[in-house]
Amino acid sequence: MTDQSITQPGTTTPESGTSTGLRWGILGPAGVAKSFTADLRLHGFDVRAVASRSAETAAAFAAEFDVPNVHVGYEALVADPEVDVVYIATPHPFHAEQAVLALDAGKHVLIEKPFTLNAAEAQAVVALAAQRGLVVLEAMWTRFLPHMVRLRELLAAGIIGQPRSLVADHTQLLSDDPAHRMNALELGGGALLDLGIYPISFASALFGTPTTIQATAALRETGADMQVATLFTYADGQVANTLSASNTVGPNRAAIVGTDGWIEFDRVWYTATTFHVFDTSGEVVETYRSEVEGRGMHYQAWELERLVSEGRLSGEILPLTETVAIMETLDEIRRQIGVRYPTE
């Protein structure tokens, strides 16, 4: 067979396009918010406002990204009449509260992963968004990247037959300081919610909600998880294995095995990267290479704006029902490994 090299999806997809003109407000100008805002600016989105509890932090962010409206305090941001969508990038325990604040103010919301701290909070946010007739979307940016678009096309075409298993990891060497957000339970710390959610969400996209969950972990002295391994099984017999860790750096690769071949993702699989499709003889039948300006975090913004423009509250790529189901899976993993947050 012929090795194909493709740099972009062949057609315009729901994950890509141009901004519809919605005006964005950034709630919590931390590191991830800088990456997201840089991509919004690069691709022509209207970033209208930023808010922080610190006037100095908000002003510095506004100066860096040329944001006209600067607010001290989140109430002022959601009350800003020039803001249509609020992007929430604060620590996990504050997501639900701040989503409610924005929804009650009539704003659409994009919430950094994990969507909330637990499934009960997720269900409450989703219910409020439906009641208000507003779009709320989990910022799982990987779902909307071009290589994931192409992956869905290939799987739908049966290029590897029926997918039967997934192996995926997300490991980073992060701070071991007990006061660091990643290690503080009061801030939702731990490898699972920050890192593990990527491969767990990937498994959900492929196979749905697992019928059985097995999890094991190593915990820090603070009680936060620093390494988590999971094994999922599904109704049709598929299996998925994930590893997340904040104390080691690994390959950060993924592989899907099907009845007629397999797909291997290069490092780092959850970013814009390359994957290779193999038939059962081990011959490469397609190589897909992503070409993305910036990090590619703007694709999720296009998705939210598309939903708003079409008058829809939930999409097919990351439905709200799936977001809640993923939080339920994370809750069960935490129950098994003995991680509970102070507010629960």
**What is the average pLDDT across 290-308?**
96
Percent of the chain with pLDDT over 70: 95
**What is the average pLDDT across 292-317?**
96
Rounded Cα–Cα distance for residues 112 and 89 (Å) = 5
**What is the average pLDDT across 155-161?**
98
Q: Is 63 exposed, middle or buried (0-12, 13-18, 19+ CB in 10 A)?
A: exposed
In contact, 62 and 50? CB cutoff 8 Å: yes
Q: Could you tell me the two tokens for 253?
A: 């690769």
Identify whether 34 is a catalytic site residue.
no
Instruction: Please give the model's pTM, rounded to 2 decimal places.
Output: 0.94
Catalytic residue among 48, 92, 107, 113: 113
CATH 3.30.360.10 fits 143-305+313-337, yes or no: yes
Q: What is the pLDDT of residue 1?
A: 34
Q: Is the pLDDT of residue 341 over 60?
A: yes
Percent of the chain with pLDDT over 90: 93
Query: In the chain, which segments carry CATH 3.30.360.10?
Result: 143-305+313-337
Rounded Cα–Cα distance for residues 90 and 137 (Å) = 15
155-161's contacts with Cβ under 8 Å and 24+ in sequence apart are 155/206, 155/256, 158/260, 159/260, 159/261, 159/277, 159/285, 159/286, 160/256, 160/257, 160/258, 160/259, 160/260, 160/261, 160/262, 160/263, 160/277, 161/258, 161/259, 161/260, 161/261
In contact, 302 and 16? CB cutoff 8 Å: yes
Q: Is the pLDDT of residue 4 over 50?
A: no
Rounded Cα–Cα distance for residues 12 and 331 (Å) = 37
**What is the average pLDDT across 303-322?**
97
- What is the average pLDDT value for the chain, to the nearest integer? 94
Q: pLDDT per residue over 202-239, tens digit each?
A: 999 999 999 999 999 999 999 999 999 999 999 999 99
CATH number listed for the domain at residues 9-139: 3.40.50.720
Greater pLDDT, 18 or 109:
109
Query: In the chain, which segments carry CATH 3.40.50.720?
Result: 9-139
Q: Is the pLDDT of residue 16 over 80?
A: no
Q: What is the pLDDT of residue 304?
A: 98
Rounded Cα–Cα distance for residues 256 and 263 (Å) = 5
